[in-house]
Amino acid sequence: MFGTTDQLAINNNRIFSAIPPVRAQSYLSDIELDLYLAHAVLEHPPRPSAAILKLQDPALKCDKNLEWNIDWAVAFIIEHLATTKAADALRAIRKRAADLESAGLLQDIPYRIFNKLDEVLFAGHLRNAVYLGISNLGLDISGTTFTHGWGPDREIKRISIIINSNTLEYGKARDIVAALIHHMIHAYFLVACGPQIEDEVPYGRLGHDVHFGKILLAIKKLSATHGEELTALKFSYRSLRPRYFADDIYAPYNRFFAGRKEGEVCEPMFDQHASVRSTEVYIYNDRRNELALEHRARLLPSAKSVEFIFNDKFVQVESKKIDDLVKIRKAFERVESRYLKIDKSASEATFLPFLEFVHMQSYRPDTTPFAALSAGFGMGRRGPPIIKPGSSSTDAPLLADVEFTRFASLMEFDECRQYALGRMNAYGITYEDPVTILRAIYHGHEPDPELKAWTRKFLVHAPITVLSGYDLHTTEPPNLLKLEQESGLYRARFLDAMDCSGALENDVNKARAELKALGWYNWTPLLHSSTEFLVAAPSRTYPHATLTLGRARSPPPLTDGCMSPLHALSSLHSSLLSLSTTDIERLREYERLLELEKSRERERSEAKEKSRDLELMRLQVLELERDADRTWEREKKKTRESREREREAHAQTYTMAYLEKFFGRKKGGFVEDDSDG
């Protein structure tokens, strides 16, 4: 092969210029330097090193993939530059490039310094992973970097860096060094984070965003250690023709853009768990209420996201999700990082509702069914719930709210805590074990003051129940009396819980004192009753608070302005007996309706889930069809390109035959190499 069209264009420029052409040896590459250099060289220089030949070998394959995420890739380079003698080595490389310029070997600089730059700046991660070529790319860029197999020559399966021949024609050594470093940064991201694919453009491997800017500025700062900064190292380049050549720094906007997120993007991550460097991260699937593992490149860039560290799992959340959650946002600001560690005491049963709250501003289960059940009993929803006999349901929403409130208090997430406390006052009634709830509140460290205040209200809460249509008026005893009943279900475990927690015992004593002041403890027989729903006798403090059950009756006999204890108990007994079977059946009907509604809700949820799965399958099939179409188009394009290359090859053969005849020479020779690779 006689060379590419670009080489021929360069040769023609040399032929019609005043520079006398001198034969030089050619590198073993089909995309290579021009064959004639404008300087005198030895007639038989030594062969190039194996490292240079590998840079130009189109058949060499390398699929190196460190499988790091882009944040870790940046952190690694920053740490590498800070802990090595990179400044001295970079100065030596720049001096070597200047010496090559003085010797008239500008075109050799990229090949002579590539491997040394890789070793000094990128810890050798680019070795054998990059194909380095030179071509005419027009007037606006210094070069270009292609992901694996997507370079000008699709037969080259490595990362391709193509340096613009205009840069070598009109630039100086510092410009060539800067352009090469610029494209080596892109190549490093492709090695560290894996090949770029179509739906991963925003990830930053081939862009000039925060991550690229951080490494570029770090190298620029490193170059200034010994005096002269490498100002030619920029975010982007114009062609270095004589009339455009300038040693100016990149635009102020780019400097601001690269540094504005530095604390978030490049916070040292070496003290974090090893999974921080992974290319995969968890996200919250709100449809299934679970964590799902996804590739980072398919998600938001780190500049637009934050991550919670939960049991060594990194869970990514869109930054704007926490914009209105002031306390959560301030927690990230306190640690000056985009990573926030969740307290190790938090369980997944608490962490998932937290993620759901961040995404949806609420979490499951919905309190509406509980409110409906409370309304069925004629009870309001204001304040803590009333203890009711156990249910067959295994749901424990109140316990989940307690755990969520403790978690929010521990993490100082006030928005989460206030929402959970609001739910705890919205149920009206609860079938959950009250002792388990109290143990959860007072277990471990000192409870949140608002949780303690809620507990005292829970213990003294005693509502008035009204069932419309039956004129049934019942005053239930407070929750504390239900817990203290000697023959009740909870007494023994309740006393054990108080023995285990002095804080609980203190709050119980305060609640008991409040109830005594209201007269609830005046009738001690009430504490020994086995009736599950005791109705406490009114105290002398409230002489007009009468007790009636069933249809409206005449007021009971009074003694000194209030009901006697004996008459109160007798009235209680007769009233309980008068509670009709219809009343009981109505209450049971409410429970049956609630269970039926839950069953229907589950069926609707399952139907929606199946519908979504079918839609997902349809979209996947559609995507497969599109992939097949794209593959077919690529094959057709490849065929067209192959035919075009054949036509170019014929043209090159004819042109080079003419040139060989004109000069009377044959190709051959090599260019001297001064490095060992």
Angle between helices 491-500 and 434-442 (to 10 degrees): 0
Q: How confident is the model at residue 453 (pLDDT cuts 50, 70, 90)?
A: very high
Average pLDDT over residues 346-373: 86
Q: Which segment of 279-283, 309-313, 405-409 scores lowest on mean pLDDT?
A: 279-283
pLDDT tens readout for residues 1-34 = 333 434 333 333 333 333 333 333 333 332 233 3
**Does 259 score more than 70 pLDDT?**
no
Q: Which residues pair with 145 in a beta bridge?
A: 161
Q: Quickly list DSSP for 112-157.
A: HHHHHHHHHHHTTTTTTTEEEEEE---SS-SEEEE-TT-SSSTT--
Q: Pick the more confident residue, 264 or 474.
A: 474
Q: Which residues fall within 8 angstroms of residue 646, CB to CB, at 6 or more apart?
A: none
Report the alpha-carbon distance of residue 462 to residue 458 in Å, rounded: 9
Note the pTM of the prediction, 2 decimals: 0.51
State yes or no: pLDDT of 377 exceeds 60: no
- pLDDT grade for 70, boundaries at 50, 70 and 90: confident
pLDDT score recorded for residue 272: 56
Quick one: CA torsion of 514, 518, 523, 524, rounded to 10 degrees?
A: 0
- Pairing outcome for strands 339-341 and 313-318: unpaired
- Across 197-224, average pLDDT: 76
pLDDT over 80 at 282, yes or no: yes
Q: Give pLDDT, residue 244.
A: 26
Query: Would you state the pLDDT for residue 544?
Result: 36
Average pLDDT over residues 310-332: 93
Between 427 and 138, where is the model more confident? Answer: 427
Beta-strand relationship, 159-164 and 130-135: parallel
Q: Is the per-residue pLDDT at 236 higher than 50?
A: yes
Nearest to 587 by CA among 532, 528, 530: 532
Rounded to an integer, what is the distance from CA 582 to the centroid of its chain?
57
Domain ranges of the chain: 52-265, 274-349, 365-586, 614-663
Tokens of 562: 């209030």
pLDDT mean across residues, the chain: 75
Confidence of residue 586 (pLDDT cuts 50, 70, 90): low
For 116-144, write each residue's pLDDT tens digit.
Answer: 999 999 999 999 999 999 988 776 678 88
What is the mean pLDDT of the segment spanning 439-446?
89
Q: Is the pLDDT of residue 528 over 70?
A: no
In the numeric block, which tokens belong to residue 651? 């043209």
- How far apart CA 249 and CA 221 sit, in angstroms, is 13
As a whole number of angstroms, the distance between CA 146 and CA 197 comes to: 11
d(CA 285, CA 359): 10
Across the beta sheet with 130-135, what order do the strands follow? 130-135, 159-164, 143-146
Among the listed ranges 25-34, 96-105, 319-328, 627-636, which one has the minimum average pLDDT value?
25-34
Give, as one character, the DSSP assignment of residue 270: T
Bigger pLDDT: 134 vs 670: 134
* Residues facing 430 on adjacent strands: 387
